Chain A
Amino acid sequence: MTNEVRLLRFLAQDMTQAELGKRVGLTRQTIAAIEQGRYSPSLDVAFRIAHLFGKRVDEVFHWQPGGDQGMETASSDAG
């Protein structure tokens, strides 16, 4: 899964990772992991991030078939 979080932060007056994290309830490290594509957030967090930037979820996060292999996800803890 790829995303536009870094770009959207830049467009939002270069919002810091810490500030974004604070507003959506994540740590700065997790925002960095999302931007680098090392972590796929839960649906709830994805909606919160999209809502914060005034976008739809599919405008912020892009899913590609087979693209999540080897990636850490919020739901991988549920099993």
Chain B
Amino acid sequence: MSSLQKRAWLALWSMCPVYCIYFVAQIGLPYLRPTMLERIGCLAVVASFHAVAYICGLLVIKRHEAGEPLLQDERDRAIDGRATRTAYFILLTGMIVVGMVMPFSNSGWELVNAALFFIVLTETARYALILIGYRQPHLAH
């Protein structure tokens, strides 16, 4: 497994579970009438979990790769480039929805969560496309 594949798996596994829990919790949270501070705290806890899981995983990967002569080559960069290009359009669409459409009907935390959702979706799509690019190259075009 290449270095980029390992990092993509790590990013998916560290990000998807915690943000899935966060977004599911957001459905029921308004009924509990949380304060602004509680909502910020909830987001901070989720972001911290994500960061700690990713950094720990990255340290393990770096330790295993200590003797590797080359971590990325032209194929890795090509796969990464294609995945990033597709993810960019997802992010662009998401930001248009959040910044230009939603403000007419929604406000506050709905906008915050929608923006966060599109950022997570973009990152998930990017890493998923990287993994698909290695397994089924023709899909990565």
Contact = CB atoms under 8 A, between A and B. Distances in A.
The answer to whether A and B belong to the same complex is yes
A76 interface: yes
Contacts of B53: none
Contacts of B79: 72
B70 A22 contact: yes
Interface in A5-53: 21-22, 25-27, 29-30, 33, 38-39, 41-42, 45
Q: Sort chain B's interface into a size bin.
A: 20 to 34
Interface of A: 21-22, 25-27, 29-30, 33, 38-39, 41-42, 45, 70-74, 76-77
B70 A39 contact: no
Given A29-B2, A70-B138, A76 B78 contact: yes
Contacts of A26: 70, 73-75
A47 to B, nearest CB: 13
